[in-house]
A and B are shown apart, each in its own frame.
Chain A
Amino acid sequence: MKKLFLAAAAASLLAVTGASAQTKVGVLLPYSGTYAALGNEITLGFNMALEEAGRSGEFELVREDTEAKPPVGLAKARKLVLEDEVDVIMGLVSSGVLGAVRDFVDGAEVPLIVANAGNDEATGENCSPYISRVSFSNRQVSGPMGEWLAEQGVKTAYTLAPDYAAGHQMVEAFTQKFTEGGGEVVGGEFTPFGQTSDFGPYLTNAKSSGAEALFVFYAGGEAISFVKQYGSFDLKEDLPLYGSGFVTSPLYVAAEGDAAVGVIAALHYVPTVDNEINNAFVETYKAAQNKAPSEFTIQGYDAAKALMAAVDSGASDRASIAKALRGLKFDSPRGAVEIDAATNNIVHDVYIYETVKEGDGLTQKILGTIKAVRDEPHGCQLD
């Protein structure tokens, strides 16, 4: 009750001081637990975009913590929709939470701008006209790696990923593109998600498989542990490491140290992407935060940009916002992007980059770009 009153008071205050009709945004991200850092970074990017455009007053933000747990995420989503009556929800780091809220959001007809969760099915067989994704789909950041690796003439690969939906999807997409390109995945394992700290046994298995390359997907703390342990086993010559970009994400690659040097990964954004918008973006970010931005920053940033564009086109309520997001084209620091009208998933360039040393730190050197990666519908029927 108290919260409702305070929210109403705040809203009316802002309405008096600022814009005409405010858009109420439910920010649904993990603010505690293993993914808290990602949640905070996405929020940072989102607010950055609003402040840059001077339009923070137009949007009333209601923050809720998903704790990256599906039931908690769903409970908070229901609260945002049924109690706070938000016009749009932005967020979701975990694919598990996305899977949990999908039916609710679709049924309640509330637009959801996905700012991270890469679950392929959310813009595939489980797509919804209300779920738009500005981040990436798991396929988009793993398939291109398989394609590129096969093009480089690599014949055999071994895969490692954590044992949950995202891990399986990444490996599947990589395997598909790699075999299409003429390669062969000679073996692989799924490690207990969130519970593996010692990758030694798995690295040993990978080595003994005799594969030419090692493809992995790990994010967050697991990525740091994995890359460091990989480095300690001195496998860089015998078994070079390739991955879906999160394995050396700018957000935490510094913690990986020298072990990350030489690792090649595929990601939809790195701070070294060379275009006008990104150069300005990186400068602003570095001045404020004293470090380079990451793909999580950009995802929050683009979510705000997409929302502002939708509102600018006249959308003011749930249905119109959802409609306006679909098919939206705009310029992001990562390049020109589009929310595919066929799947509501983002279409963007994917960069193949290598982590290299620069002075005292690490940076990303772009080796190749796969332009306008667009997911096939995979069973999505939006109309």
Chain B
Amino acid sequence: MFHQTPARSIVLVLALVALALYAIYGGYFAREIVVEIAILAILAISIDVVAGFGGMVSLCHGAILGVSAYTYGILTAKLGYPTLPSAVAAIGAAAVFGTIVGWITARTTGIYFIMATLAFGQMAYTVIFKSRWLGGDDGMGGLPRFDLDWAGISMNKSLPFALYALLLVLLCYVAAAWVMRSAFGRTLCGIHSNEPRMRAIGVSTVIHRARAMGFSGLLAGVAGIIAGQHIQYISPELLFWTVSGEALIVVILGGLGTLIGPMIGAIAFVLLKHELSGHTDHWHIVVGLVLIATVLAGGRGLYGQIEHWMTRRKARGAARNA
């Protein structure tokens, strides 16, 4: 069940403000990091929606992000269509892809679901990887950013772009929170905790899970647009299953099932990665160990652990007062 607690709202606002200040005063590199965090945060939120609430661990979300980025790339860089409609279409394509995968895999659970999403993600990767028209392994360049010159804002500058990315994080979080609090979200949680019972009361779990993947795909699609516009160059690697794996790490690191956890996890992961690669070329091993440690410590992640302590204290306090 998802509740937008005051604690979560405070953390959300604090995190976004901190990132915005970092972008404004931190210089070029800080802005690049903020955008990286934003993309990862939205992707992680999209995964949290299905994995944290729906219990569906997906390894194809990187591919969904990639589908959005490539659709945007094809429409703008290859076919020359205007940016905003292309972005909307790209996000739509991602949502459709998510829905289709969700629908096909709706009857599978646990490890089979994970493998099925892996399969579909890899299929998308292979199709794009093999396409010479899409640039194949070399990727596709020339993706344009939105043109806000009429409002006096130049999106080609790194600060406005970083703030735009943060704005989208806020919007995606709010959207996800709203959906998870709605009847749809509660049904999804219900399916996660007891699927046969939900079916017994007449819920079509297949359609519901498909829709959840579709909504999640939509969010991932937004991340895809930012990713495509950021470096203005995309390559098939975006769709490889290890990207989804890394986003999953971020969700766990932050706190599964909290929606704010992914955001914290994204900040921690990106900062950790950059800090490490400044000192060594072997940062993989550190990330791997941190991940293992997180899971062994209870798997609640940074924010999840904080919330756990808070609720324990509250429970102890309540017990004392009782």
Contacts and interface: CB of A to CB of B under 8 A. Distances in A.
A82 interface: yes
Nearest to A6: B278
A156 B232 CA distance: 44
A125 interface: no
Contacts of B26: 1
Interface string A231-252: 0000000000000000000000
Interface stretch (B10-18, B27-35, B200-208, B289-297): B27-35
Interface in B1-55: 26-30, 32
A3 B29 contact: yes
Contact of B277 (A65, A82, A163): A65
Contacts of B178: none
A88 interface: no
Interface string A99-132: 1100100000000000000000000000000000
Given A164-B137, A164-B138, A1 B30 contact: yes
B138 A70 contact: yes
A70 B142 CA distance: 13
Contacts of B278: 3
Given A1-B26, A83-B29, A96-B235, A71 B139 contact: yes
A31 interface: yes
Contact of A70 (B32, B235, B277, B281): B235
A69 B235 contact: yes
B199 interface: no
Interface string A6-43: 00000000000000000000000001100010000000
A193 B137 contact: yes
Contacts of B141: 99-100, 103
Interface residues of A, number: 27
Nearest to B22: A1
A198 B30 CA distance: 44
Chain B interface main SS type: helix
Interface in B261-286: 277-278, 281-282
Contacts of A79: 28-29, 32
A86 B18 CA distance: 30
B237 interface: yes
A32 B28 CA distance: 24
A96 B130 contact: no
A288 interface: no
A59 B158 CA distance: 29
A32 B137 contact: no
A24 B89 CA distance: 44
Interface in A57-81: 65, 69-71, 74-75, 78-79
A163 B136 contact: yes
Given A74-B231, A83-B29, A96 B281 contact: no
B234 A163 contact: no
Given A36-B281, A79-B32, A96 B27 contact: no
A96 B28 CA distance: 25
Given A4-B27, A74-B232, A99-B139, 12 more contacts: A1-B29, A1-B30, A32-B281, A65-B277, A69-B235, A71-B139, A71-B234, A96-B138, A100-B141, A100-B233, A100-B235, A103-B142
Interface of B: 26-30, 32, 130, 136-139, 141-142, 158, 231-235, 237, 277-278, 281-282
10 tightest Cβ-Cβ pairs between the two chains A and B:
A96-B138, A83-B28, A164-B137, A70-B139, A71-B231, A100-B233, A82-B28, A70-B235, A165-B138, A31-B281
Interface of A: 1, 3-4, 31-32, 36, 65, 69-71, 74-75, 78-79, 82-83, 95-96, 99-100, 103, 163-165, 192-194
30 contacts: A1-B26, A1-B27, A1-B29, A3-B278, A36-B281, A69-B237, A70-B138, A70-B139, A70-B235, A71-B234, A71-B237, A74-B233, A75-B231, A78-B231, A79-B32, A82-B28, A83-B27, A83-B29, A96-B139, A96-B235, A99-B138, A100-B139, A100-B233, A100-B235, A163-B130, A163-B136, A163-B137, A164-B137, A165-B137, A192-B130
